[in-house]
């Protein structure tokens, strides 16, 4: 059996935490789908796999765009009112996320983005200001994914209503197969997710 080289071991160790970040963010997004439509649960595994795979390419650039947008807002307003926007630090930390793993994944992605682009935040000098900035970014980023999921659910449920599937789903399996799956919607739309201006 061939021995792994040091470089491949480093790559594997480096990729593992990043992959976990995407897995937990995918968990968060799937839970939004299920919260909006309990029928999404049947597709949850497929949606999770698709999201985790696609997030590898778009999660960090989207976080960078979010950070840049919030930094621009902070420079213009001189202050971010976290309490007014989301109800304060506790709201962001505890209520928005179902697990510490999800919350920590969003924080890890934020720090990865900031470490690669420190110029985005080098104007923030105080630690408390930086924490508020981080939580504001995480909340905005979370909202982007929430809007992504809820928009898809609204569109899919509209199609189901048009086809008369909102009631008696089990007796209309043939018609249900004509409706795009949530995974279909995700695959079609995820590359277009961006920070709202």
The answer to whether 138 and 96 have CB atoms below 8 angstroms apart is no
The helix (H) or strand (E) run that includes residue 44 is: helix 44-77
Of 101, 96, 100, give the one whose Cα is nearest residue 136: 96
Can you tell me the distance from the alpha carbon of 112 to that of 106, in angstroms, rounded to the nearest whole number?
10
Q: What is the pLDDT along the chain (197 residues), one digit of tens a residue?
A: 344 444 444 444 445 666 899 999 999 999 999 999 998 999 999 999 999 999 999 999 999 999 999 888 877 777 666 556 655 556 556 566 788 899 899 999 999 999 999 999 888 888 888 888 888 899 899 999 999 999 999 999 998 888 777 666 555 566 677 788 999 999 999 999 988 75
In whole angstroms, what is the distance from residue 110 CA to residue 120 CA?
Answer: 12
Angle formed at CA 93 by CA 91 and CA 94, multiple of 5 degrees: 70
Cα angle for residues 72, 75, 81 (degrees, 5° grid) = 95
Task: Kindly report the pTM of this predicted structure.
Answer: 0.82
Domain ranges for the chain: 6-192
């Amino acid at each position: 059996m061939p021995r792994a080289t040091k470089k491949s071991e480093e790559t594997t160790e480096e990729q593992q935490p990043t992959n976990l970040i995407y897995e937990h963010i995918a968990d968060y997004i799937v839970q939004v789908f299920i919260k909006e439509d309990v029928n999404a649960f049947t597709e949850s595994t497929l949606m999770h796999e698709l999201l985790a795979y696609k997030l590898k390419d778009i999660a960090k650039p989207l976080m960078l765009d979010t950070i840049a947008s919030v930094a621009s807002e902070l420079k213009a307003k001189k202050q971010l009112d976290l309490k007014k926007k989301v109800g304060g630090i506790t709201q962001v930390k505890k209520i928005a996320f179902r697990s510490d793993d999800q919350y920590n994944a969003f924080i890890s992605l934020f720090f990865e983005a900031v470490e690669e682009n420190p110029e985005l935040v080098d104007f923030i000098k105080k630690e408390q200001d930086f924490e508020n900035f981080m939580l504001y970014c995480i909340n905005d980023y979370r909202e982007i994914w929430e809007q992504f999921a809820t928009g898809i659910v609204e569109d899919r449920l509209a199609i189901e209503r048009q086809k008369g599937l909102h009631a008696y789903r089990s007796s209309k399996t043939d018609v249900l197969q004509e409706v795009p799956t949530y995974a279909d919607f995700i695959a079609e739309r995820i590359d277009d997710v961006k920070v709202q201006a």
